[in-house]
Structure 1
Amino acid sequence: MTAVDSPGVPLEDYMMDDRSSYVKLPTVSLPAGSEILVGDEAWRAAMDIAQSRAAHPVVAVDVYPGADVAEITARIRTVVPHAEVIDVEDAAAAAPEAIDALIDRNLTDDRVFGVMSHFTLDEFYDAERLAELRRRVDERTGPVILVGWGADLAAAGEAHALVLVDMARWEIQQRQRAGAGNWRAGNGGLDALRKYKRGFFVEWRTADRHKRGMFDRIDLVVDGNADPDAAGAVRGEDFRAGLATATSGPFRVVPFFDPGVWGGQWMKSALDLDPTVHNYAWCFDCVPEENSLLLEAGGRVVEVPAMDLVLSQPRALLGERTFARFGAEFPIRFDFLDTMGGGNLSLQVHPLTEYIRDTFGMSYTQDESYYMLDAADDAVVYLGVKNGVDPAEMMAALRAATDGDHPFEAERFINTYPARKHDHFAIPAGTVHASGANSMVLEISATPYIFTFKLWDWGRVGLDGIPRPVHLDHGEKNIQWERDTDWVERNLVGQVEELRREPGLVEERTGLHELEFIEVRRHWFEDEAAHDTEGTVNVLNLVEGDEVEVVSPTDAFPPYVIHYAETFIVPAAVGPYVIRRRSTSRSERFATVKAYVRGTRSTDA
């Protein structure tokens, strides 16, 4: 399971000891009076709601693809034995081979990359079988419960009670790694990367498009990540009110951690993670499309995708200008890359905007940067090609290295720069780069996820024993060869500009190049630093100091405590806020890095 295996049990059972102050299970409070139902209470509540509206009601239980429909259906039949329970997928979905043919062009033959799809869920259903199912429902003589991805579609949007069984993408990935397949694909034994690809390019986009049309009508949201015995559920009105309330103050998504072939040991120690795990490579602590929110009421929690907040409250969360530019997508990503005691990241390059749009159907690309949370004395960053490099010679060396017998001499072609704590390296798309070993990187970037073209992976295989894919053809078309030593040193290294200095406070612009759309500001302070979202979402991390609190100058939200290395989001709707030391703080000075989308602040007009 994902961050919380059994959201229905008391929250304090999940809290860790005091060895680390980093909070791994941050929560978002539901409005006063909200109730979280547990296990079978949800199904009884759904039937009660429906029966209050009709003598022979229809209940639609719409299930995010990845949840176990057979298990859910069996559970409902046990709890509500007097109702006819219908698996709408078995009853009316298109044949698997028809779906495969439909989406084939989007999946491509590549192991990792496909083409972004724009399907709607009705395209995955057989029109005649769906019509027959609707006739069957219309002729019912008792209560009917429709279950599956598309239950609302089968009910023609007119169910007497609408339930959403929701899931986070991270949990879906965990199940796929354990052998689960894609929706109605029968591909459980397939390579996990290919299953992720089908989810990313087809299923999840379609599913988010589908559920976004249900948010205003949902009567109950059930946690599909958890064990059915203890799964939490929240009533629709409380769910909507909780998401709306979340945009009135700072909050954190639930971070998740993952090992990797190059992973290190810093997070394991500093963030108090499971010491029996060999390493941790990644921490995704602000990727709302894959992270979760824990909605809390009465000491219990229910886990929902953080994407639900993005889809349902895009203007309040992102701000009008950011929403106008990106739509209901969260454009800023913060994550950790831990190579302390580990290895180099793959040598890689990200696609240019035109290339990612024309080849994969994405509207923006992964501009990024490496902010060094920590670094050993020998830490380096690989960045840009060296002066005088012959592109043909370098590509020939990279292709020769794919046979495993001719290692690529990275230092011969690629610049290396010493990396020290609090250094910030800009990496606009098209720039060859990698973090070296013995670094702890806070990666601040745009959010197109998987569009990394590996050029050389130091001869390694993945944790699954399969050679990690490289994409030299894609990479060659995107490497900007003019970004050589001279250009990198003028544009990407040591780019810190002091903007303001006053007693106890220094504000700096740091990191990202003018080609990148994210602005990053660093604030050093002794007691407090005043901020204002100025109409666009802010994402911050406490990169120095033990703990601070975020407060509203007008008491619009209660003080929100942040510990070292925690990433937090301040929605656009918040406006002014102050970050200040707490009375319990032991540090003498503090620093935050703050990212936002350039050109979207009210003062940018």
Structure 2
Amino acid sequence: MSFMFKPLTYDDTKAINHLECSVDVVEKYSSIVSKILNDMNGSMVILIDGYISAPFKEIINELEIQSRAYGISFNSFNMEMLYRSEEEINELTKDNLPLNYEDDPVLLFGKVYEGDIRDFLDNQKLQAVLSTIKESDSQLIVLYGHGSTIIEFRQIADKIIYIDVTPKTTAVRAREKRFINIGDKQARSFNLLMRRNYYVDFEIALKTRKELLKNNLIDYYILSNYDKEPQMITGKALSIVLKELVQYPFRAKPVYLEGIWGGEYIRKIRDIPKDISNNIAWIFEFIPMEVSIVVETNHKYLDIPFYTFVQNNGLEMMGEKIYHDFDGYFPIRFNYDDTWHSDGNMSIQVHPDEDFIIENYNEFGRQDEAYYVIATGHGARTYAGWKGDGREFIKLAKQAEKEKSEIDYQEYVNSVPSIPGKQIMIPAGTIHASGQNQFILELGSLTLGSYTYKMYDYNRKDKDGNLRPIHLKNAEKVLRFDRDSEWVNENIAIEPKLIDDNEEYKEFVVGYTELMYFQTNRVEIKTKGKYSQKKDGFLVLTLVDGESADVYSKNDPDKVYHMNYLDIVTVPSTIDEYVIQATGYQPIVVHKTFIREGAKRFKNPKYLK
């Protein structure tokens, strides 16, 4: 699933994973179709399925053109013919998309759909098409669209093609009104289209892709991230690429998003052109459901959705225990929040705990976060916990929402000076905000949605001139009013604890609380120094200070990622002992995140089967 609303089209071309394997990559629809037709051996039934926004008609048109040129009789069936009516599908999904304007004024939230694409199909229409295909004398029959690879059609198919799309590309195509929701006849507004995508369509597409990958059913795998520039490899080649990738430390390709409080730090560090956007607020550096992973093979670059990698190789990547504890989902996310030289703070907000999320959204568990301060300007502060009467603040916030009045929020919300290297853990229920003039590494728990309840947003308007939505009713239900400044200092904004000190490095625990299942350490490595550790499962490393480092397997140093400042690199469970080598002319600081042994995992019983 993906919940990106405003990704920038900018591509970060430096996030590349170089592999030794070499597979054949076919480019352009004409060459792709020629390859498929040349592989034909007699009559053939082809199924073409894909992720949301996959451009099915481009390949269908090329198949028809080339079939005629080769003298091959051709017939195609669009899955849209087989869907139940729009009214029936809306009725089927209405509980997932409630019209609750009081709690959710712009309709962001909903409940995750538990079914699959089979629920959207009209069985009578399905059987009719199945019979027509069986009786057809066409040499080439193609069934295309979401749901074309259900078991009934797989039983009569010769080849399966899957068209994959990165979440960023899908979000951009949604913004450009390039597709509609499954079963719809006309486009919804962008916000409602993406809401339906998140809670229904993306979940359905993920289930289809997972089934095809796990059962090795894909014959041809097409990446369609760039218009008119598709790339195709075989399903076997995809397995080869991902099997090698999971043996390496790897980095995902970040996605950049604009926001009203966006800053300037990441633009300067990564030299992003000013015409891209003047307010880059979020950098989805490694949010598993939102990013992709670029691999170089045979001098070609394949931009593969990161969750395709997880669905195919998650067990090796995470390790058996973590994989099963989290039902195959990658359990941590990372992004950067940039308010450096910006106009203001992030909103004052809170996230819900597991009971609220399970009951209201049918999600996995609590939404915890953490802020690690990387860089600051003058006066930067991070807000967490209460300083004054929290219930009085809520009263004033309700008044401010109605009257657009201002609140002296600093009288009520506790804050601490933002010092580079400071880690603040933010368990669900804790009021918090990232302050103005800083660059923050934000990490969070598994919760896949964006369940942020804004309580006060300084009466700011968005880019379209609308006041940003406030969610006080839900916020009041989940806030912990007992978390004051003393509790914050004792429990979630701890002083670094030295745990290792030698000639080459020092390691500190900087983020730890029993309320959260991940822990963060800070490793300070001297110039040219090495840090080597054994581990169970996976961990994630961020170069938060210094110029460059190599991360590699101690047993196979060729399996290496050359990381630069602010790169986030995952060391998979396949690497038992890893090394971080400072490679520049300066010392470095690395932020390390890992799952705590024995920490509490899921609460939702449906994910504990």
The AA in structure 2 aligned to 1:491 is N
TM-superposed CA distance for 1:534, in Å, is 2.4
- 1:465 corresponds to which residue? 465
TM-superposed CA distance for 1:30, in Å, is 5.6
Query: Is the contact between residue 250 and residue 570 of structure 1 (CA under 8 Å) also seen in structure 2?
Result: yes
Note closer, same or farther for the CA distance 1:426–1:543 as it changes in structure 2 (3 Å cut).
Answer: same
What CA distance in whole angstroms lies between the structure 2 residues aligned with 1:144 and 1:551? 48
Query: Is the contact between residue 552 and residue 561 of structure 2 (CA under 8 Å) also seen in structure 1?
Result: yes
The aligned runs of 1:141-290 (5 Å cut-off) are 141=137, 142-153=139-150, 155-180=153-178, 181-186=180-185, 188-190=187-189, 192-215=190-213, 216-228=216-228, 230-276=229-275, 277-290=277-290
SS in 1 for 2:280: coil
TM-superposed CA distance for 1:72, in Å, is 3.9
TM-superposed CA distance for 1:98, in Å, is 1.3
- 1:93 corresponds to which residue? 83
Note closer, same or farther for the CA distance 1:435–1:85 as it changes in structure 2 (3 Å cut).
Answer: farther
The 10-residue stretch of structure 1 (527-536 or 233-242) with the greater mean CA deviation from structure 2: 527-536
The aligned runs of 1:177-576 (5 Å cut-off) are 177-180=175-178, 181-186=180-185, 188-190=187-189, 192-215=190-213, 216-228=216-228, 230-276=229-275, 277-342=277-342, 343-387=344-388, 389-391=389-391, 393-448=392-447, 449-526=449-526, 527-532=528-533, 534-555=535-556, 557-576=558-577
TM-superposed CA distance for 1:4, in Å, is 8.8
What CA distance in whole angstroms lies between the structure 2 residues aligned with 1:282 and 1:256? 8
Which consecutive residues of structure 2, in runs of 5 or more, have no partner in the other structure? 1-5, 600-609
- 1:76 corresponds to which residue? 63
Which consecutive residues of structure 1, in runs of 5 or more, have no partner in the other structure? 6-13, 15-22
RMSD of aligned Cα (Å): 2.1
The AA in structure 2 aligned to 1:349 is V
Spell out, residue by residue over 1:424-464, the C-alpha distance to the aligned partner (whole angstroms, 9 max, x if none): 11111100000011010110211323111111111122224
TM-superposed CA distance for 1:535, in Å, is 2.6
What CA distance in whole angstroms lies between the structure 1 residues aligned with 2:462 and 2:8? 24
What CA distance in whole angstroms lies between the structure 1 residues aligned with 2:17 and 2:87? 42
- 2:602 corresponds to which residue? none
TM-superposed CA distance for 1:244, in Å, is 1.3
- 1:18 corresponds to which residue? none
- 1:67 corresponds to which residue? 54
Note closer, same or farther for the CA distance 1:429–1:495 as it changes in structure 2 (3 Å cut).
Answer: farther
Indicate which of 108, 128, 131 corresponds to 1:132: 128
Note closer, same or farther for the CA distance 1:319–1:481 as it changes in structure 2 (3 Å cut).
Answer: same
Note closer, same or farther for the CA distance 1:600–1:299 as it changes in structure 2 (3 Å cut).
Answer: farther
- 1:118 corresponds to which residue? 114
The AA in structure 2 aligned to 1:386 is K
TM-superposed CA distance for 1:334, in Å, is 1.1
Indicate which of 106, 114, 122 corresponds to 2:96: 106
The AA in structure 2 aligned to 1:209 is K
The AA in structure 2 aligned to 1:423 is K
TM-score by length of 1: 0.91
Query: Is the contact between residue 544 and residue 589 of structure 2 (CA under 8 Å) also seen in structure 1?
Result: yes
SS in 2 for 1:365: coil
TM-superposed CA distance for 1:540, in Å, is 1.1
TM-superposed CA distance for 1:84, in Å, is 2.7
- 1:8 corresponds to which residue? none
TM-superposed CA distance for 1:3, in Å, is 9.1
TM-superposed CA distance for 1:85, in Å, is 4.4
The AA in structure 1 aligned to 2:462 is G
Query: Is the contact between residue 21 and residue 241 of structure 2 (CA under 8 Å) also seen in structure 1?
Result: no
What CA distance in whole angstroms lies between the structure 2 residues aligned with 1:415 and 1:187? 48
Note closer, same or farther for the CA distance 1:456–1:573 as it changes in structure 2 (3 Å cut).
Answer: same
Spell out, residue by residue over 1:51-89, the C-alpha distance to the aligned partner (whole angstroms, 9 max, x if none): 23xx21111111212223334433332343335342432
What CA distance in whole angstroms lies between the structure 2 residues aligned with 1:425 and 1:442? 11
Note closer, same or farther for the CA distance 1:380–1:532 as it changes in structure 2 (3 Å cut).
Answer: same
What CA distance in whole angstroms lies between the structure 2 residues aligned with 1:24 and 1:415? 40
Query: Is the contact between residue 8 and residue 257 of structure 2 (CA under 8 Å) also seen in structure 1?
Result: no
Note closer, same or farther for the CA distance 1:485–1:242 as it changes in structure 2 (3 Å cut).
Answer: same
Q: Sequence identity, in percent? A: 24
Note closer, same or farther for the CA distance 1:442–1:24 as it changes in structure 2 (3 Å cut).
Answer: farther
Length, aligned pairs only: 575
- 2:21 corresponds to which residue? 32
- 2:606 corresponds to which residue? none
TM-superposed CA distance for 1:409, in Å, is 2.5
What CA distance in whole angstroms lies between the structure 2 residues aligned with 1:46 and 1:57? 11
SS in 1 for 2:227: coil
What CA distance in whole angstroms lies between the structure 2 residues aligned with 1:60 and 1:42? 15
The AA in structure 1 aligned to 2:374 is L
Query: Is the contact between residue 381 and residue 436 of structure 1 (CA under 8 Å) also seen in structure 2?
Result: yes
TM-superposed CA distance for 1:177, in Å, is 1.7
Query: Is the contact between residue 30 and residue 238 of structure 1 (CA under 8 Å) also seen in structure 2?
Result: no
Query: Is the contact between residue 7 and residue 257 of structure 2 (CA under 8 Å) also seen in structure 1?
Result: no
SS in 2 for 1:493: coil
TM-score by length of 2: 0.90
TM-superposed CA distance for 1:467, in Å, is 2.7
Note closer, same or farther for the CA distance 1:158–1:272 as it changes in structure 2 (3 Å cut).
Answer: farther
What CA distance in whole angstroms lies between the structure 2 residues aligned with 1:172 and 1:295? 20
Query: Is the contact between residue 525 and residue 591 of structure 1 (CA under 8 Å) also seen in structure 2?
Result: yes
The AA in structure 2 aligned to 1:68 is P
- 1:10 corresponds to which residue? none
Query: Is the contact between residue 542 and residue 565 of structure 1 (CA under 8 Å) also seen in structure 2?
Result: yes
